[in-house]
Structure 1
Amino acid sequence: MLVAGAKASIPPERLPDLLTRAQADLGGRIQEYRRRYELVDETDEYAAFFVPTDHWDEVGERLELGRRETDALRRTHEEQLRRIGRCSERREEFDAALEIRQAAVIGL
Structure 2
Amino acid sequence: MTADNPIEGQVLVLTAAKASVGGERVPELVAEARRELEPRRDELRRKYERVHEDDVREIFLAPEGFWVEVGDDMGWERREREAVARAHAEQLLRVGRREGRESEFETALEVREAVVIGT
Q: Bin the TM-score by the shorter chain.
A: over 0.9
**Normalised by the size of structure 1, how large is the TM-score?**
0.95
> Aligned to 1:8, which of 2, 11, 19?
19
Q: In the TM superposition, what whole-angstrom CA distance separates every residue of 1:35-85 from its partner, at most 9, and x where no partner exists?
A: 000000001211000001000001101111110000000000000000000
CA distance in 1, matches of 2:103, 2:69: 27
Normalising by structure 2, we get a TM-score of 0.87
Q: Which residue of 2 aligns with 1:37?
A: 48
Q: Aligned equivalents of 1:86 and 1:6: distance in 2?
A: 20
Secondary structure of 2:59's partner?
A: strand
Distance 2:25 2:93 in 1: 22
Kindly provide the amino acid, as one letter, of the partner of residue 40 in structure 1: V
Q: Distance in 2 between matches of 1:6 and 1:58?
A: 24
Q: Tell me the residue number matched to 1:28.
A: 39
2:92 aligned to which of 81, 96, 99:
81
**Identical residues among aligned pairs (%):** 44
Runs of 4+ in 1 over 4 A off after TM superposition: none
Q: Which amino acid aligns with 1:53?
A: E
Segments of 5+ residues of structure 2 without an aligned counterpart are 1-11
Cα RMSD (Å): 0.9
Question: Tell me, which stretches of 5 or more residues in structure 1 are unaligned?
Answer: none
Q: Residues of 2 paired with 1:23 and 1:70: CA distance?
A: 13
Residue 52 in 1 paired to residue 60 in 2? no
Aligned mates of 1:100, 1:5 — CA distance in 2: 24
